[in-house]
Structures are given as C-alpha cells and as structure tokens.
Amino acid sequence: MSRRRGLMSQQFKDELAKELGFYDTVQAEGWGGITARQAGSMVKRAVEIAQHSLVNQQEQ
C-alpha cells in the first residue's frame, strides 16, 4: 500500500504546533504523541489560514 503524500509541509505543521502550544510534545514524542483534539485544532487552524488567504486573494 502506498503512503499518502501530506498536504501540509513539515515546516507549516511545526509552525502550527508552536502556535497552538504543543510543539514540545511533537519534539519529544513525534506526531503520534499529540492528542486527537490537538490534531483537530491544527487542522482547524490550517483551514482558517487557508480561508483567510483566499479572501485576501479575492480582494486584490
């Protein structure tokens, strides 16, 4: 089975984890160490950023 390619870059995921306050867990335990709630918060924030970016592009 092939592995799916992630939609978010590693750098973006790291930045989100720092912003949301659980980057220390990621460093210590890897991405498998975060909770489902933290992962959900990360996805929610990524969607917010994407939506904001789209609105800014449409206004230009």
In a domain, 2, yes or no: no
For the chain, percent of residues with pLDDT exceeding 70: 92
Is residue 52 assigned to a domain? yes
- What burial class does residue 21 get, using C-beta atoms within 10 Å of its C-beta: 0-12 exposed, 13-18 middle, 19+ buried? exposed
Range of the domain at 17: 10-59
Establish if 4 belongs to a structural domain.
Answer: no
In total, how many domains does the chain have?
Answer: 1
Q: What percent of the chain has pLDDT over 90?
A: 77
Residue 5 lies in a domain: no
Question: Is 40 inside any structural domain?
Answer: yes
Distance CA 54, CA 34 (A): 29
User: Does residue 27 lie in a domain region?
Assistant: yes
pTM, rounded to two decimals: 0.81
- Say yes or no to pLDDT of 1 above 50: no
Q: Average pLDDT, stretch 19-46?
A: 97
State the Cα angle at 2 between 22 and 7, rounded to 5°. Answer: 40
